[in-house]
Every structure is written in C-alpha cells, then in structure tokens.
Amino acid sequence: MEQVQELICRSVEQLIRHKVLYSYRLLGVYYLVVVDGTGVVTFREQHCAHCLKKVMGNGETRYYHPVLEAKLVSRNGFAFSLMTEFIENQDLSADKQDCELKGFYRLAAWIKRRFPRLPICLLVDGLGST
C-alpha cells in the first residue's frame, strides 16, 4: 500500500510543479483539499481483527472498514486523490475503536510531512467542528 500511496503523491507533486492546478487555487494561493470519510466494505461477520463494529437499532452487529480520503479539488469538479488513511483497530487491547477524528489527525500529520510547504485550505465536514 505504501508504494501505491507514494505513486499518488508523486503524481500530485508533478501536477503542482508543472502548474497544472495553478489557476484553481483559492485566492491565487491555497490549494483546496477536501477530507471526508467513506465506507469501503461491510460484513455481517467479523472477518479480521481490525474490523470496526457497529450495533444497529435492531440489535444486529455490522463489521466494516471505513477510510478517510484527502483529495485535491478544483472549482470545475476535478478531484485528485492526495492521501488515504484507513480507519481500523490497530491496538486490539484498546477500549475504544479507531474513528474518523483520530484518522484525521494521522492523515493531517502525514500530509504535513509529505507536502511541508504546500499552502492548502482544508475543506472538512462536521469533523472540523470538534
């Protein structure tokens, strides 16, 4: 997975270096980066130790694997994947499950390390109000 992420980052770097996205910057300065979580797969039975678990209103338990996605977006609708952070239970002895907010902190730190000088404006949903 790390090699795929590196390929995506290098592709975005090339777009930025060659000023392909230059005209789509906010106020002529900031690149727009939208961050949001989405579900990838859902199971009725736990298939691995890293699954997140949710008990439905009818008492049924669902196991799922969400991801947090950061995309570089333009005002004309183009969206380029920047980074992906999997939300999964890494510490199997923890009392609480992993969540979108914890994933956001990991993702933000990763973006900062990978693109330290890139001026960005983050676009987030309710995640940003916490």
| Mean pLDDT, range 84-106, rounded to an integer | 82
Is pLDDT above 60 for 128?
A: no
Residue 82 burial (CB count, 10 A): 26
Give 11-25 pLDDT, tens digit per residue: 989 998 999 888 989
pLDDT at 99: 81
What is the value of pTM for the model shown? 0.80
How far apart CA 51 and CA 71 sit, in angstroms, is 24
In angstroms, the CA 9 to CA 4 distance is 9
